[in-house]
Structure 1
Amino acid sequence: MSDRLLNGLTLFSAIGSGLIAGIFFAFSVFVMTALARLPSAQGIAAMQSINVVILNPLFGVVFTGTALACAVLAITSYFRWGEAGAIYLLIGSLIYLIGSFLATLMFNVPLNDALAAADPNSANGAELWLHYSSNWTAWNHVRTVASIAALTSFIVAFRQFG
């Protein structure tokens, strides 16, 4: 892979990790707290709407595109192992892929799917909301920290290339 392409993918991964970190940070710091203050039916309905709206092409390009770029960078780091920044490419890529992308698929998405099937006005919905909001938010904290750590690692790698 050329240095120019490597720099571009590293920059894209840094920006993508930063954008995703910002989204996750907002949910961890205030969105979920605000939703938890609402009556459960309203909190469920709001989160159900958010989970539908977030599935759009722009979010998909940033979230999935960053994961794909990280996969390429992880492989590339193996072939450039002795070079400056390679370890940070690998670390940033693995942190994003495991802590952000995989955590989302394994933990947050199944919780979102369960919430999507819930009737916001039912007793089961209210019980599910309590379980959902605490577990979803805990995993979101993991995703937030992972995305920030990946961003940091990509910045260090990018600086070492220079």
Structure 2
Amino acid sequence: MSTTLLATTFAGVLGAGLVGGVFYAFSSFVMPGLQRLPAGDGIAAMNEINVTAEHPAFMIAFMGTTLLCLYLGVRGVLDWGDTRATLLVAGSALYLVGAFVLTVAHHVPLNNELADVQPHAAGAAAHWHDYLDKWNWANHMRGAASIGAAAAYLGALLV
């Protein structure tokens, strides 16, 4: 394995693991905590979290890992034929589809809809419960996909 591929695969392990940890935190205690709040307070808190998530600390990890996964996936395809290449492609597919695409296609639209909800308006509580049902299952998937990608990249380093 070249030094460049070794370094980017290691960075992929760290990036996918870090992002997976963020999603795990949301699944394990952030969202359950927000669900315990009155609906209006939960909506207001989630909207603030969504605004904060767009700051560089998370976006560099999320988008940087996306770029790493694109590179590692292409390298896996170009080197196709061994276990390492298969693991690189698998890790890339898990992260790109399970974390990036799911975020862009599912979570961002849900978050944008929630941003338009007045927390204490009529119907806000129903919207909040619907949001939670749609958001939570997909977040579990994002977390599992990101952690699976980290594991696949780790496997690629170890073979």
Fold match by TM threshold 0.5: yes
Q: How does 1:70-149 map to 2 (within 5 A)?
A: 70-149=69-148
**1:37 matched to which residue of 2?**
36
Is 1:51 the counterpart of 2:39? The answer is no
TM-score (norm. length: structure 1): 0.95
Structure 2 distance, partners of 1:31, 1:84, is 37
Instruction: In structure 1, give the amino acid aligned to 2:13.
Output: A
Query: Considering only aligned residues, what root-mean-square deviation do their CA atoms show, in Å?
Result: 1.1
Q: Distance in 1 between matches of 2:78 and 2:132?
A: 42
Counterparts of 1:62 and 1:12, CA distance in 2: 10
Alignment of 1:1-20 (within 5 A): 3-20=2-19
Q: What is the count of residue pairs matched by the alignment?
A: 159
Which segments of 5 or more consecutive residues in structure 2 lack a partner in the other structure? none
Amino acid at match of 1:124: G
Deviation at 1:83, TM superposition (A): 4.1
Q: Residue type of the partner of 2:100?
A: F
Partner Cα distance (2:22, 2:81) in 1: 35
The farther-off stretch of 102-111 and 79-88 is: 79-88
Task: Give the AA of the match of 1:156.
Answer: G
2:45 & 2:18 partners in 1: Cα distance?
A: 22
Q: Which stretches in structure 1 are left out of the alignment for 5+ residues?
A: none
| TM-score in terms of structure 2 length | 0.96
